[in-house]
Each structure stands twice: as structure tokens, then as C-alpha cells.
Amino acid sequence: MKQAELVIIGGGPAGLCAAVSAARSGAKVLIIERNKDLGGQLLKQTHMFFGSEKQYASLRGIDIPAILISELEKYKERVEIIKEATVVGVFEDGVITVLEKEENYFKIAPKALVLATGAYEKYLSFPNNDLPGIYGAGAVQTLMNVHGVKPGNKVLMVGAGNIGLIVSYQLMQAGVKVEAILDAAPKIGGYLVHASKVRRMGVPILTSHTVKEAIGKEELEKAVISQVDEKFSPIEGSEKTLDVDVMCISVGLTPLNELLAMRGCKMKYIPQLGGLVPLRNENYETSVENLFVAGDATGVEEASAAMVEGFLAGLCAAEKIGYRLDNFEEMKNDYLKQLEELRSGPAGKHILSGIEQIVL
């Protein structure tokens, strides 16, 4: 069995920051990443990030992994990275099992774990929602921004949260027409600067609207949309048919953290955080000792918050196994303050009302 000090599951924004922070503290770090490249969702984010300088605001998401990886290289003698590997089990004795490149199966016994597995996309039920041409927003971003492939020519974006608005903008940058952005909620969920940005490109944003059905033989040809009332029920007679060959579903994310449940972490269903999330203390340690979490796996937020959570969880996990920085308290308080800042506005209120229910 492979021995390790600190294993970080997931090499996205939270995992990379946790690795930097823990390695900086002196811990030996092993990152296990499912994909070929480190960076997670950052690899698709061609837009500039919000937040403050400390969270790389104003830089484009796609440029952040290189910064974090070069930071990791400073400590390369104690950083190991396994790519194209999935952690398939976390067991009661602390042992984890890993499947590498779908053929090499092995066990690791780490002293501590940081789980930074991110989130997965929610989907929407409507007739024919399995027609080719109907994608999740993440898939559209991967096609366009990672592989340089246009998903189609005319898009209906379903969801006016930040992801829906940003992906609409990116589609237009790729030369794809966005026919409309709709959302069942009565108000736009994403940042209004993003909404204004797509609106002044001529894209209508239809709040209080939903998809009634998709139409097409071999692939998506049309989408029927309708207005909804305040109870989110479709209003008879308000239907409209749009000629689109792509529908992009962007109706939110759910934390991806089954491994925590498997290990016996206390979990709670918190709608504000996107679904089932682990209880955790201020240091992002769960109810299971030496098992830490960070990023969307602990509640869906912006990438800026995920990165700060990663830095904090990595710092605290390293401290827990004996690598305490001289300025540990100062660093920790700085991360806590950054999180407080990111969550203190109207957009963060909702998140905070969820977090209050999970802090041990």
C-alpha cells in the first residue's frame, strides 16, 4: 500500500490552492486528478474573474492554473501528482482506493485528506430532453473553450445565473447566435453586469419562462417555451416556438461529495449550497477527523471562494498533521477574512444562510 501524508482529491481551483497551501506549510502532498490536465473548471473560463487581487480578480480563469502550478513547482520535492485517476473509495480505516487510467487499481493510506471534488450539473425535465443538441453548460464550454468546437448555430440558453450568462457571452464570442436566455425565476440570478453585457449584444433575457418541450427527429430542431406564473406553473396560451439547434441547460450545480458520505461524514441537505453537503468546522475539517473539504464539494459558490477555501483547508490540514507555519494564525485569519468579504454582499447572504447550518 502506498503511504502518503496529505492526499488532495481533485486538482481544480480548490484542490490546487489546497496543495499550494499545504506544500508551503511543509507537508508532502499528493494530488489525484481525474483529467489529463490540472485546473478543473478553470480550464474553460475564458472570462475575467471577480473578487479582489488576492483571488486573482481581473485575470481570466484559463490563466490561473499556470500560476498555481508554478507556485507548486517551488515545493516540487514534496509534491506528487497523479492524473487521469479517480478515487473510488474512502474507507473507515482512512484508506482510499484509486483507479488510475482505468487499469491500475491501488490503495493509499494518507494521514489526512482534502476532498475538493467540485460539483456536477443539475438537469431539467421536459419532453425530449435527451435529443442531441441539448447540452449542459459545462459541456458547451468544454467543446468551445477547450476543444475549439462550435456546438451549433442557434442557441437557447436555459438559466440566467452566472454560468448561463457567461456561457451565452462566450457563445457569441465564438460566433454562435444566442436566441434567448430564459429563467423560471422572476429575477436574473447572475451578476447584473453579466446580464447587461449580453443584453446589449441584443439577446433577450426572459425571466419567468421555462422550456415546455424540445422538438426534433434526429436532433434538436425547435424549442417550445412558455411563461410561468409565480408558482412556476406554465401559463396556458403563452407558448412560443424558437428555431434552435442547441439548447444549453444551466440550472445550477450540486456538490459532488459521495466519497464523504461513504466515509461516514455527517451530511445535511442545504438548498442554498446546492444539495447535500458535509458539516465542517471553521478549518473546513468534517465530522471525520483529518478529513477536510474545500470548494464546491462543500457548497456551490464562485471559483474565487473555492480558491480561498482551498488555501484555508490546505493550511489547516497540514497543521493538523504537524506542519504548522510560524504565521499560521495570521494566514488563517486572512483566509477567513477573505471569505467573509466575498460573502458579505447581497449575493453572499443566501450562501451564508446555508453555511450557518453546517458549521460544527
Partner 1 sequence: MFEKTGIPSEEMIMGKFPSIERINKGAVAVVECYKEIPCNPCQTACKFGAIIIGEDINNIPKLYADKCTGCAVCLSKCPGLSIMVVDGSKLEETVEIKLPYEFVPLPKEGQIIKGLNREGEYITDVKVLKVLNPKSFDRTPLVTIEVDRKYLYEIRNIQVEV
Amino acid identity, residue 293? Answer: V
Instruction: Give the nearer residue to partner 1 in terms of CB position, either 70 or 104.
Output: 70
Closest CA to 122 of 272, 213, 252, 211: 252
Site map 314..353 versus partner 1, x via CB under 8 A = ---------------------------xxxxxxxx-----
Q: Least CB distance from residue 74 to partner 1, whole Å?
A: 24
Residue 257 backbone class (left: φ over 0; alpha: ψ -120 to 50; beta: rest): alpha
Q: Rounded to whole angstroms, how far apart are CA atoms 91 and 96? A: 6
Closest CA to 300 of 262, 246, 354, 358: 354
Instruction: Give the nearer residue to partner 1 in terms of CB position, either 192 or 359.
Output: 192
Q: Least CB distance from residue 304 to partner 1, whole Å?
A: 7
Indicate which single residue of 67, 88, 201, 262 sits in contact with partner 1 (rule: CB under 8 A): 201
Q: Rounded to whole angstroms, how far apart are CA atoms 161 and 150? A: 22
For residue 154, the cross-strand partners are 177
Indicate which single residue of 81, 109, 139, 172 sits in contact with partner 1 (rule: CB under 8 A): 172
Closest CA to 128 of 240, 249, 239, 228: 249
Q: Least CB distance from residue 344 to partner 1, whole Å?
A: 6
Cα torsion for 78, 335, 320, 34, to the nearest 10°?
-50
Indicate which single residue of 9, 205, 270, 331 sits in contact with partner 1 (rule: CB under 8 A): 205
Q: Least CB distance from residue 163 to partner 1, whole Å?
A: 15
> What phi and psi, each to the nearest 5 degrees, are found at residue 236?
-55, 135
Amino acid identity, residue 18? Answer: A
- Asked whether 50 and 191 are in contact (CB, 8 A), the reply is yes
Q: Least CB distance from residue 165 to partner 1, whole Å?
A: 8
Residue 295 backbone class (left: φ over 0; alpha: ψ -120 to 50; beta: rest): left
Sign of CA dihedral 37, 293, 191, 235: positive
Indicate which single residue of 93, 102, 202, 271 sits in contact with partner 1 (rule: CB under 8 A): 202
Site residues (CB under 8 A) for partner 1, limited to 285-304 = 302, 304
The secondary structure of 55-102 as a DSSP string is GTTTSBGGGHHHHHHHHHHTTGGGEEEE-SEEEEEE-TTS-EEEEETT
Q: Least CB distance from residue 250 to partner 1, whole Å?
A: 16
Instruction: Give the nearer residue to partner 1 in terms of CB position, either 87 or 160.
Output: 160
Under the criterion CB under 8 A, does residue 80 sit at the interface with partner 1?
Answer: no
Indicate which single residue of 50, 121, 143, 287 sits in contact with partner 1 (rule: CB under 8 A): 50
Indicate which single residue of 34, 83, 122, 197 sits in contact with partner 1 (rule: CB under 8 A): 197
Q: Least CB distance from residue 309 to partner 1, whole Å?
A: 14
Site residues (CB under 8 A) for partner 1, limited to 176-195 = 186-188, 191-195
Under the criterion CB under 8 A, does residue 207 sit at the interface with partner 1?
Answer: yes
As given in the structure block, the three cell numbers for residue 265 are 461524514
Instruction: Give the nearer residue to partner 1 in terms of CB position, either 89 or 186.
Output: 186
Q: Least CB distance from residue 310 to partner 1, whole Å?
A: 17
Q: Rounded to whole angstroms, how far apart are CA atoms 12 and 200? A: 32
Stretch that binds partner 1, among 95-103, 149-157, 203-211, 254-262 (CB under 8 A): 203-211
Under the criterion CB under 8 A, does residue 263 sit at the interface with partner 1?
Answer: no
Q: How many CA atoms lie within 13 A of 251 on its CB side?
A: 17
Instruction: Give the nearer residue to partner 1 in terms of CB position, either 27 or 198.
Output: 198
Binding residues (CB under 8 A) for partner 1: these are 47-53, 57-60, 172-173, 186-188, 191-203, 205, 207-208, 302, 304, 341-348
